[in-house]
Structure 1
Amino acid sequence: MKFEQARLDRICDWMQSYVDDRKYAGSSFLMMHQGREVLFHSCGLRSVENNLPFERDTLVRIYSMTKPITTAALMILVERGEVHLGAQVSEYISDFTAAQALVPGATRLDQTEPAPAPTLHQLLTHTSGLSYPFNPGILAAAMDELDLVFGPKEGSLAERVSLLSTLPFAFQPGTRWEYSVGIDVIGRVIEVISGQSLEQFLAEEIFNPLGMPQTGFRVPAGAGDRFASLYTPLAGNAMALNEARTGEQTLRLVDNADASPFESATMYSGGGGLVSTIDDFARFSEMLRNRGRFGDQQILAPKTVEFMLHNHLPGDIASMGPQSFAEQPMEGMGFGLGGAVVINPGRTCVPGSMGDFSWGGMASTFFWVDRQNDFTAIFFTQLSPSSSYPSRAELKALTLGSIIE
């Protein structure tokens, strides 16, 4: 495979245009082909208020790009025979034993019927009946009222999962797709099975073996001002998609390194709690591309990674009646374990390859593994919500457009 430099330069120009137009304060992009760096570029600022550049070692909130990491952690336990994906979550968290789901057409939270506890597979694939506060619907509104987003200062994971279990599911498990906190619940399952905190398990089983010292649930000691500020173009809550109102500032500061809850996080959110650097995350994405191996470390077996990166839905996401926000297109896009899988590139309306595995985060970060062309790509910035601009579609088109043979 051959890349044309002039076409790679278009990616750098595109990144700069987002900075010049004050859409993003700054960003970085890293592309690896067969384990070798093809392009790294950064531009703009990690802190507008302090005029600090966005650099290679800048730390960012990866939010939902935490999900594939937590999923890989559960698959480590699956490989060891300590759990299977068909198990109901109630086997590990008894609070879900007497579950209820909203009846079809419900208009109130108390209009429910008995429901089975979702399986771990349903939690991983967002078919469990759980939701997010920023989605439409009755359950989402109840979660919003309780501030159930598994934020870094919301107490312990065990406490928040227990509170979540008091709410009904949005639908009967397995019948629909809705983006959810299901992988936060998976994080708690990992704690119960392993007897360790999710923080400890991820460090021992993934971060340390892969050499990811800058990745964790809080800003690492000694990081100083390398932690990027978070911005939003919205006038209100940067995560409140149901009430999104464009503000006068395209880069309104909502969280900075001096006073961020990520400096002293107490919640180990397996669905959205990690901070990382682009080189750290590249090691994880390269492990997926290389079928579970990075350097001399075999984190997962090749067949396990292949299983994760297959589509686990009956068809595409759109066919399962989603009403929620998602980090990816829904037509032509299936869902594997912890991330989306392209099953029909033409239907996604985004240039890509069959089998592309990807996911992003609420602060507009994004990564994908192109198995056909044997490369990984990672984009970091810090603007919430990620639906503000079509940057992911544009970046995929630019990247594939740089391949000339």
Structure 2
Amino acid sequence: MAFRSFSSDATLSRRGILRAAAFGGAGAFLAGCTGARGVLAQVAPKIEWNAVRAIGDRYVSQRKIANYVAAIGFGQQDPEYLYRGPLSIGGNVPAGPDSLYRIYSMTKPVTGVAASMLIDAGKLELDQPLKDILPAFADMHVLTSPTAAVTSTVPAERDITIRQLLTHTAGLGYNIIQSGPIRDAYNRAGIVPGQVSRLPIPGQFSGRPAPSLATFADRLAKLPLVYQPGTRWSYSVSLDLMGRVIEVVSGQPFDSFLRDNIFGPAGMDSTYFTVPQSEVDRLTTNYGFVAGNLIPIDPARSSIYLDKPEFPFGGAGLVSSPRDYDRFNKMLVGYGAIEGRRVVSENAIRIATSNLLPEGVSLANTWMGGGGYGAGGSVGAGGQEGTYGWAGAAGTAAMVNMKTGLRAGLFVQYMPTDAQPLRADFMEALAKDIEAARAAMKVAA
């Protein structure tokens, strides 16, 4: 069964899945994370993480979630793992650093880093027209309004570029955003960039994904854009399309490129587009909130993630462990190096984690509320400069602070994320624990 959202009259809503992509509570995160990298390195050993631990204890004991894993680290130091609860409600196998979580849109920064590697290698350029790599996108048309008939279009005023794909400014649509004829056209064409469950959950998504990345790209090119390229930020399938760009430019399948150039070198041996049957004992169950109750929508033993997807979804397709994703974050704050080993060039990481928004495009009047956007993830601006990260539709979230070296990940499994304020509570607790350690150091001094 394809990636489906949930009916708007239930607590599982399309809007809720959408908001799950934003990393709520970033302000609280940053309030406790400013300062020099060396200062936080000194504070780190003093942090007891009492508030972060208490959040997990409270949510699990009240059965608001099945399990909770937090992974927090500084620079190249080993992470602290805080965890509570079983892989599934009523189960007896505890969740932990090596449990497997559907990370959904936390896949986007991985795809963004992969693209940045090709940019740094000179195989792509940020402002290169997409049509140079995928000629089918040479003559695009744009809807006269986001809900207009797919035949009501005008010519695109400019070419789609690689920069626009990385920053959701190419004018492409997304099933979790759009409504009306264009959403229906996406569904019919298999522009369905992910999966949730085998269960017949009614909702906004329908149809099967296109059978390959090549077919996905070709079908997408035949559909109108929702907005003129380079004119506004709108969450989209652009990172899925970037997967096709990567495989054309690199000459190898997208998933193989990630395995050979990021996962393998970074020691991420528990990150998959398809969970091997041998690893099912580590897989969590994903839940949906219905009338305030947690209902299993993707049980581990029958998970849709045990089947090979139609294609590797570069926007929302990965399953990973807290330990693995922390290694990705460790590589980011190491500017491409992890534990003394170079995985990605420093310049590629600087590209990925910088504000790449086209000139004149702002996030101020979007649901992002401001800031910048890099390669597949949000980028802090002003007092929040140095942060980079994104989150997933089933409650996971990860962020790094490139200035201080702080890295943080939250791993839970429920949809939609905004059914409860766990993510914001986590961020507040994170800042609280850091400030408590700082205060204790000042007193000791």
Corresponding residue number in structure 1 for 2:231: 175
Q: Counterparts in 2 of 1:226-241, with a 5 A limit?
A: 226-233=282-289
Give the Å deviation of 1:105.
6.7
TM-score scaled by length of structure 1: 0.87
Corresponding residue number in structure 1 for 2:17: none
Q: Which has the higher contact order (CA 8 A, sep 6+)?
A: 2
Name structure 2 gaps, 5 residues minimum.
1-39, 196-207, 439-445
Corresponding residue number in structure 2 for 1:125: 167
Q: Quick check: 393-402 or 277-286, which moved more?
A: 393-402
Corresponding residue number in structure 2 for 1:331: 369
Match of 2:264 among 195, 201, 208: 208
1:149 has 2:192 as partner: yes
The residue identity in structure 1 corresponding to 2:291 is E
Match of 1:87 among 128, 132, 155: 128
Give the Å deviation of 1:262.
1.3
Instruction: Please provide the CA RMSD for this pair.
Output: 2.2
Partners of 1:397 and 1:106 lie apart in 2 by 38
Corresponding residue number in structure 2 for 1:280: 324
Partners of 1:357 and 1:182 lie apart in 2 by 18
Corresponding residue number in structure 2 for 1:318: 363
Change over 3 Å in CA distance of 1:38–1:201 after alignment to 2: closer
Tell me if structure 1 keeps the 8 A contact 2:142–2:153.
yes
Residues 337-371 of structure 1, C-alpha deviations (whole Å, 9 max, x = no match): 111012145xxxxxxx4321110111111001022
Give the Å deviation of 1:317.
4.8
Tell me if structure 2 keeps the 8 A contact 1:33–1:375.
yes
1:366 has 2:397 as partner: yes
Partners of 1:12 and 1:167 lie apart in 2 by 48
Partners of 1:175 and 1:60 lie apart in 2 by 35
Q: Counterparts in 2 of 1:35-184, with a 5 A limit?
A: 35-37=76-78, 39-48=80-89, 50-104=91-145, 107-115=148-156, 116-138=158-180, 139-144=182-187, 146=189, 148-151=191-194, 154=209, 155-184=211-240
Q: Counterparts in 2 of 1:380-391, with a 5 A limit?
A: 380-391=411-422
Match of 2:408 among 377, 380, 385: 377
Partners of 1:392 and 1:93 lie apart in 2 by 38
Give the Å deviation of 1:274.
1.0
Tell me if structure 1 keeps the 8 A contact 2:117–2:345.
no
Give the Å deviation of 1:91.
1.7
Corresponding residue number in structure 2 for 1:193: 249
Tell me if structure 2 keeps the 8 A contact 1:289–1:371.
yes
Tell me if structure 2 keeps the 8 A contact 1:19–1:25.
yes
Counterpart of 2:293 in 1: which secondary structure?
A: coil
Partners of 2:344 and 2:108 lie apart in 1 by 16
Partners of 1:6 and 1:82 lie apart in 2 by 44
Partners of 1:219 and 1:356 lie apart in 2 by 30
Change over 3 Å in CA distance of 1:195–1:142 after alignment to 2: same
Give the Å deviation of 1:20.
2.6
Give the Å deviation of 1:104.
4.1
The residue identity in structure 2 corresponding to 1:133 is N
Tell me if structure 2 keeps the 8 A contact 1:3–1:402.
no
* Count of residue pairs brought into register by the alignment: 378
Give the Å deviation of 1:173.
0.5
Corresponding residue number in structure 2 for 1:356: 387
TM-score scaled by length of structure 2: 0.79
Tell me if structure 1 keeps the 8 A contact 2:51–2:430.
no
Counterpart of 2:78 in 1: which secondary structure?
A: strand
Match of 1:396 among 411, 416, 427: 427
Corresponding residue number in structure 1 for 2:294: 251
Tell me if structure 1 keeps the 8 A contact 2:175–2:183.
yes
Identity among equivalent pairs (%): 32
Change over 3 Å in CA distance of 1:228–1:307 after alignment to 2: same
